């Protein structure tokens, strides 16, 4: 897998992070080394492995809303900026 020259920077933007020039240069080289190393996985014959996306039903439970008022208040209280029961965020545009 060949990463393009600006991969570290563009991928960082995609996951809402910014990199300094120094970071981008360092990561770019390290990421390429890592993905070259990971390439060895492609030599494994995985035809015998079935569908890995199957979720075991036993692991699922219904979502139950939290009704503990005190806990709700504590969670809301952790918001950096709040208005009522909502986190207040900056304008989008």
Partner 1 sequence: MKTVFEIVQAVQAGTLTARQAVQESLQKIKELNPQINAFVEVWPEEALKRAEEIDARRSRGEKLGPLAGVPIGIKDNILYKGHKATCCSKMLANYVAPYNSTVVEKLLAADAVIVGRTNMDEFAMGSSNQTSVYGPVHNPIDFDRVPGGSSGGSAAAVAAGMVPATLGTDTGGSVRQPASFCGIVGIKPGYGRISRYGVVAFSSSADQVGVLASDVKGAALVLETLCGRDENDSTSLENEVPAFSQNFTADLKGLKIGMPKGFLDNLGEEVKEKILASAEKFKALGAEILEVDIPHAKYSAPCYYIITSAEASSNLGRFDGLRYGYNDEKAADLNANYESNRSQFGEEVKKRIIIGATALKSENFEECYLQAVKVRELIKKDFEKAFEQVDVILTPTSPTTAFHLGAHKDNPLAVYLADLYTCQGNMGGLAGISIPCGEDKLGLPVGLQLYGPILEEEKILNAAYHFEKGL
The site for partner 1 (CB under 8 A) is made up of: 1, 3, 7-8, 11-19, 23, 27, 30-31, 33-35, 37-38, 40-42, 44, 46, 48-49, 52, 59-61, 71, 74-75, 78-81, 87, 89-93
What minimum distance in Å lies between the beta carbon of 89 and partner 1?
5
Q: How far is the CB of 21 from partner 1 (least distance, A)?
A: 13
- The CB-of-38 to partner 1 minimum distance in angstroms stands at 4
State which residue, 40 or 67, has the beta carbon closest to partner 1. Answer: 40
Q: Would you call 77 helix, strand, or coil by DSSP?
A: helix
Q: What are phi and psi of 36, to 5 degrees?
A: -65, -40
The conformation of residue 62, written as its DSSP 8-state character, comes to -
Cα distance between residue 49 and residue 70, in whole Å: 48
The Cα 42–Cα 47 span in angstroms is 12
């Amino acid at each position: 897998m060949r990463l393009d020259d600006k991969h570290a920077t563009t991928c960082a933007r995609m996951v809402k992070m910014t990199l300094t020039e120094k970071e981008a240069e360092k990561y770019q080289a390290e990421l390429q080394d890592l993905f070259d190393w990971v390439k060895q996985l492609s030599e494994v014959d995985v035809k015998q492995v079935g569908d890995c996306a199957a979720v075991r039903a036993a692991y699922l439970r219904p979502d139950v809303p939290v009704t503990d008022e005190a806990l709700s208040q504590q969670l809301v209280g952790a918001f950096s900026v709040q208005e009522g029961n909502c986190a207040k965020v900056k304008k989008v545009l």
